[in-house]
């Protein structure tokens, strides 16, 4: 199990792996309305303002498709969205690349790692969703950040289960 986690932490990502992103942007951009340009903090309600971030806010009340398309637009949530969005496939690819080599099976010894993976992916997906869509309205802001917190809680629970099963005495688990 420690060997699996060690291999998962070693990441080899090349710029060539990301070359498909511009083509994806062009494909999506042709089918959705373009998002409006970003605005300053004085042009959004106080709920959406962040300290020391003076510009780059997406206007509220746009079509939902505009918020999805803002994935390819630079705005105040871009870094949050992209770091979590890229982490999910990297995590999956690292797990997939090492699963066969390490003899990973769906038995009791591997189950905690599976729970960790599911909890990590849940956290990442809910976080991407929250940071991408929260600018739609006040209600959307609260709803999606509630989901973001649920994702964090699921991730913490998955981590604690993995830690418990891999470090506790076997008699405690039985």
Residues 122, 8, 164: CA angle, nearest 5 degrees:
65
**Once rounded to an integer, what is the mean pLDDT over residues 149-161?**
95
Whole-model pTM? 0.75
Q: Rounded CA gap, 173 and 53, in Å?
A: 48
**Once rounded to an integer, what is the mean pLDDT over residues 88-114?**
81
Residues 70, 55, 85: CA angle, nearest 5 degrees:
35
Question: In 10-137, which ranges are continuous DSSP H helix?
Answer: 21-29, 64-69, 78-99, 111-133
pLDDT for 46: 93
Question: Which is more confident, 55 or 169?
Answer: 55
Binding-site members are 131
Binding-site members for Zn(2+) are 131
| Three-class DSSP category at 117 | helix
Residue 71 exposure: Cα atoms within 13 Å on the Cβ side: 21
Is the pLDDT confidence value at 93 over 60? yes
């Amino acid at each position: 199990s420690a060997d699996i986690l060690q291999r998962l932490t070693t990441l080899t990502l090349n710029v060539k792996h990301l070359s498909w992103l511009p083509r994806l942007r062009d494909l999506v951009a042709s089918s959705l309305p373009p998002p409006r340009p970003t605005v300053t903090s004085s042009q959004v309600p106080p709920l959406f303002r962040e300290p020391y971030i003076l510009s780059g806010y997406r206007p509220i009340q746009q079509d939902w498709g505009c918020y999805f398309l803002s994935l390819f637009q630079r705005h105040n949530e871009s870094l949050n969205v992209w770091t979590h969005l890229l982490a999910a496939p990297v995590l999956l690819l690292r797990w997939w690349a090492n699963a066969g080599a390490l003899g990973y099976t769906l038995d009791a010894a591997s189950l905690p790692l599976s729970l960790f993976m599911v909890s990590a992916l849940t956290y990442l997906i809910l976080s991407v969703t929250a940071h991408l869509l929260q600018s739609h309205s006040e209600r959307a802001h609260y709803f999606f950040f509630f989901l973001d917190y649920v994702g964090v809680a699921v991730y913490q629970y998955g981590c604690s289960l993995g830690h418990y099963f891999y470090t506790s005495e076997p008699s405690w688990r039985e």
